[in-house]
Every structure is written in structure tokens, then in C-alpha cells.
Amino acid sequence: MYITDLQYFGTIGYIKSITPAKEVFFDHQHPYSKMSFKNRMVIATAQGPLHLSIPLIGGRDQKALIGNIMIDYSTNWQDHHFKAIVSSYQRSPFFEYYKASLFDVYNSKPALLVDVLLTTNAWVKKQLKTHWEIVETNPEVAVQRSFDPWLPKNYHLYPNPLKYNQVFEDRTGFLPNLCILDLLFCCGGKQANQLLMSF
């Protein structure tokens, strides 16, 4: 079993780390840490990387456990995120295939951040057709723990990143280790899965 934290549409490196696992436990008792991918993701735009973050009640400096963090809906962040994704990827080869189900993800309003993270991870798992099973109870035996060291401030330094054709590569150059949505929209689930398992 593999124990790790949750990420908002995790980076390609993060998804690569859990793809080979048979069972994955997402640690809800792990403390929330600011400036992490727990409530952030990075997409590609014609101007370069764009950081999108889920606003939280109490702000980003709180010390609560990840399972207790609540989302702030005082701004329409879901509409903003979805429109940014559409604007950036509507001309990518596979975006139309995923658009409707992704809209459904952004059309719900769970109170807890962990529920959004579980939903986005389940969505990614389905699109990649991966075989890991999400385990709900904290295992009592010693198992492998891995918490992604790559953060919004250094994610682009990921060594030997997976390479593929990106939408704005001719303008921005290749942008490494973006959120998994970039890989899915550019390559499709089947090829994305093959690439994740091969590097």
C-alpha cells in the first residue's frame, strides 16, 4: 500500500508516483501546508504557466488537518478555474472528450477541500484507466509513505520530466510537470497512461 497526500489535479510527477500502486491511502490527517498543491494546480497558457488556487476559509496560514479544511465560496472560483481551463485547452486534441465530465466536477459545491481532492483524484483515475484502489481506512501496518516534495515554487525543476507536445509549446517552450490535465488534454488517457508508466 502507498500512503500519500492529496493534490488538486496533481502534477504529472505526482500522478506518476501513484500510478503503479495497487492501493493508495490519501492521508486525511496530514496537516495542511500553505504553498502546496493541496489546493493549487498549474496549467499552460499562451503567456506561460498559470497558477489556480482554491480559496479556503481561514486563509492559507491555518494549521488544521487537511480533512478539516473548508472551502471559501464567497467568490466564484469554480467558474474562474473552468473558464481558464477552457480558454487554454479548447484547441487541444482531446479536450472536447473530457469537457462535459470536467464541467460536472466544477458544478458541485462540497464544503470540505478533501472532498474536492477526492473527486478530482477519482476523475483522473477514471480518465487514465489506472488500477489503483483508493483505501478509505488508515492502515495500521507499516507501509510506504511518500509525500511529493515538488511545490508551486519548484515544480518546474522536476528532473527528467515526461515530454509530449503541448498546446502553446511554440510560444512558451515546453513547460514541465504541469497538472495532469495538461497531459490528458494533449495526449488522451490511453497515451497518457502509457507515458506515465514508461518514464
Residues 106-146: tens digit of each pLDDT:
999 999 999 999 999 999 999 999 888 777 666 565 455 66
- DSSP H helices in the chain: 12-18, 77-89, 95-106, 113-128, 169-172, 180-187, 189-198
Cβ(16)–Cβ(184) below 8 Å: no
Amino acid at 193: N
87-96 pLDDT, tens digit each: 999 999 999 9
How many residues appear in the chain? Answer: 199
- What is residue 47's predicted lDDT score, i.e. its pLDDT? 96
The per-residue pLDDT for 2 is: 72
- As to burial, measured by CB atoms within 10 angstroms (0-12 exposed, 13-18 middle, 19+ buried), residue 175 is buried
pLDDT of residue 146: 62
Is 30 strand, coil or helix?
A: coil
For residues 26 and 76, the model is more confident at 76
Reference 179, options 19, 40, 17, 83; nearest CA is 40
Contact criterion met (CB below 8 Å) for 54 and 150: no
- Which pLDDT does position 28 carry in this prediction? 76
**Domain span at residue 28?**
2-151+158-198
pLDDT, one tens digit per residue, over 146-199 is 666 777 888 898 888 899 999 999 999 999 999 999 999 999 999 999 999 887
Give the chain's domain count: 1
